[in-house]
Amino acid sequence: MRIQIAAVGRMKSGPERELVARYLERAVAGGKPLGLTGFDVSELTESRAGSSQSRKVEEAKALTATFPQGAVVVALDERGKGIGSEVLANTVARWRDDGKAAVSFVIGGADGLEPDFVKRADLVLSFSPLTWPHQMVRMMLAEQLYRTTTILSGHPYHRGD
């Protein structure tokens, strides 16, 4: 199953981008024996539309265009469901075992995600009710995807209960 991160906004070169790359490289290596591939990042330019709502609509269309056919869509939103790392790992494994071809994790732009887009997502996930900068969300997501591979492989990186 292919894993994708679709994000509105581009990360500049620097330690944040390097940390994301490091976690995703680890996820690629750990994911192969588990049938998890890709761990690609699709970066989209922020819309320049005049209103927040118009920007969100344009960005939703652009995000949707990046999804592999039949992808499970996970929208990251502070109003989403907070779940633990083991639940996330088991959910990804269930999708893989159910024959899903891909999972796209979606990070919105500065205005957030368009509400109808969020309603259509298969899972709306929150890392916290706090609002986080785009770069930090991407770093946290990359780390959680790597952690997912370690949990599923029984690697000691995750020290759960």
Query: Which range is least confidently modeled, 1-5, 113-117, 151-155?
Result: 151-155
Q: What is the DSSP string of 29-46?
A: HHHGGGT-EEEEEEEEPP
Mean pLDDT (the chain, rounded):
95
pLDDT at 159: 72
134 or 25: which leads in pLDDT = 25
* Residues 17-38, mean pLDDT to the nearest whole number: 97
161: pLDDT confidence band, cut at 50, 70 and 90?
Answer: low
| 133 appears as a binding residue in the annotation | no
* Residues 88-115, mean pLDDT to the nearest whole number: 97
The two structure tokens encoding residue 12: 């500049």
Find all residues with CB under 8 Å of 97, minimum gap 6, and list them: none
CB contact at 8 A, 94 and 34: no
Q: Which of 126, 132, 113 is nearest to 6 (CA)?
A: 113
HSE of 79, CA atoms in CB hemisphere, 13 A: 6
Q: What is the pLDDT of residues 120-134, one digit of tens each?
A: 999 999 999 888 888
Report which DSSP code applies to 109. Answer: B
| 128 appears as a binding residue in the annotation | yes
| 39 appears as a binding residue in the annotation | no
| 131 appears as a binding residue in the annotation | yes
| 76 appears as a binding residue in the annotation | yes
For helices 134-153 and 85-97, give the axis angle rounded to 10 degrees: 70
